[in-house]
Amino acid sequence: MIKRLAVITVLLVVVGCSNNDSESGEQNERNDSQKLEDAVLDELDERTKIQLDVWAYYEEGWEYPIEEYQSLNPDITLNVTTFTHDTYVNEYLKALVDNDVPDVMIFENNQFATFTAVDGLENLAGEPYTLNEYYNDFSRTLWDMGLSIDNEELIGLAYDSYPYVTYYRADIMEEYGFPSDPDELGTFMEDADNWLNMAGKLKEDHKWIVGWDVEILNIFDTTRGIFNQDLEFNRKDQLSQEAIRILQAVHERGLDSKMNIWDEQGLQALKNDEIVMLQLGSWGSGLLYDMVPEQAGKWRVTRLPFNQYGLGHTSIISIPSASEKKEAAADFLEYFVFEREKEGSIGPISGYLPHRNDPKTINHENEFLGGQQDQRKYEQIYDKIEEPKLTPLDEKANQIWYEMIYTGLEEDQEIEEILDSIEKKIQEQLGSEIDRLK
């Protein structure tokens, strides 16, 4: 600031001397001098602005926070760079290794797991940061999601979390004699045999409630991690056996459509009333409205089948240790997590508890969902979710999990035998890495 004032003083003296040399100058000369002064001040203001670089894995939704934050902080310019979901992890890792980092990094929870054992992210629970003052008002499970692998440091803070939910055509459920009310359907689908019978009856008229058989595993896998807190294999129990049993039934009875809504064939099936149920994050009603606005009022949302409560995804925000603008980055982080959603939002669930059950959104009626109070349903579902343990080995272990389940079924192995083989394979391939992380 002292340097800035000194520069301004020198420039004003120069301008003043110029005016004194022409005491008899015209009014337009004085105006020119004022314009010069204003231009100098504007130039200096621009030079003293802080540019805060933010990296993110998604493109949508940045316009409002950029505009609002810059209006609240006119001395800061936000520069948001986005990457594709397939490339951002490598870009982030390279930046941390090279110490060529942005000031803020935003992750999806599954990929954040890779960074929990990597140096280079600030401990947000330590000095000089002040996030500990929010600890008692923050979801414990979401707070813990941002911990390092040893649970010693808070290297990220979760802010938007989306439960994994079921969207379905209420009109078609009613037509075929199945429950159409969200609560009643959720209860009905707790029983796997009910769900399988429903899938079979609807299949007779080329209507589908599952796209690919692997989606059965996805439903169960969103409810817990492949490792527990002690980095032990976490899927050798009755719940995992049930998941594989249902997967096997779907495969043998041909109950999956072999379609998804992301390609043209699937989109046409959606438009033709053939895809009548699917699982998405709680952002799904907006997507469906964009795809099939003509079906407004016919869709509803309820919880997952088989009495499962799972996580779609969560976004996590971190500050790289090599950032030279940590103070500004910390201010942006607090705004983004604690202030940005003060007007309420539909779909995401905040980790900050005072934002839960917001009267501005909890009674929101979604016209696409037939007037259903969607945010109320999302929050009811989310309250029963237990966030999974994240580890850097999740991706490798899950690859073994999926591959060996299908191999085992093809070889007619018993389900208990499949699970034993998976545990053994994970220990063989990842045992040394697991030991290093303990």
What would the pLDDT profile of 409-426 be if each residue is shown by its tens digit?
999 999 999 999 999 999
pTM to 2 decimal places: 0.86
- Gyration radius of the chain's alpha carbons: 27
Place of tokens 């992890």: 89
pLDDT reading at 248 higher than 90 = yes
Burial class from Cβ neighbours inside 10 Å (0-12, 13-18, 19+) for residue 436 reads: exposed
CA distance 142 to 140: 5
Say whether 107 sits in a helix, a strand or coil: strand
370-376, long-range: CB < 8 A, 24+ apart = 370/170, 370/297, 370/298, 370/299, 370/300, 371/297, 372/182, 372/300, 372/301, 374/282, 374/285, 374/301, 374/346, 374/347, 375/346, 375/347
Band the pLDDT of 31: cuts 50, 70, 90: low
pLDDT reported for residue 29: 54
pLDDT reported for residue 28: 54
Residues 6+ apart with CB under 8 A from 6: none
pLDDT reported for residue 36: 47
CA angle 243/419/247 to nearest 5° reads 25
Band the pLDDT of 49: cuts 50, 70, 90: confident
Does an H or E element contain 372, and which? strand 372-373
CATH 3.40.190.10 domain extents, the chain:
50-161+312-360
Band the pLDDT of 21: cuts 50, 70, 90: very low
- Other CB atoms closer than 10 Å to residue 367's CB: what's the count? 11
User: Tell me: the pLDDT tens digits for 269-285?
Assistant: 999 999 999 999 999 99
pLDDT reported for residue 386: 86
CA distance 424 to 88: 32
CA distance 52 to 14: 34
User: Tell me: the pLDDT tens digits for 334-363?
Assistant: 999 999 877 778 999 999 999 998 888 999
Q: Which CATH architecture has domain 50-161+312-360?
A: 3-Layer(aba) Sandwich (3.40)
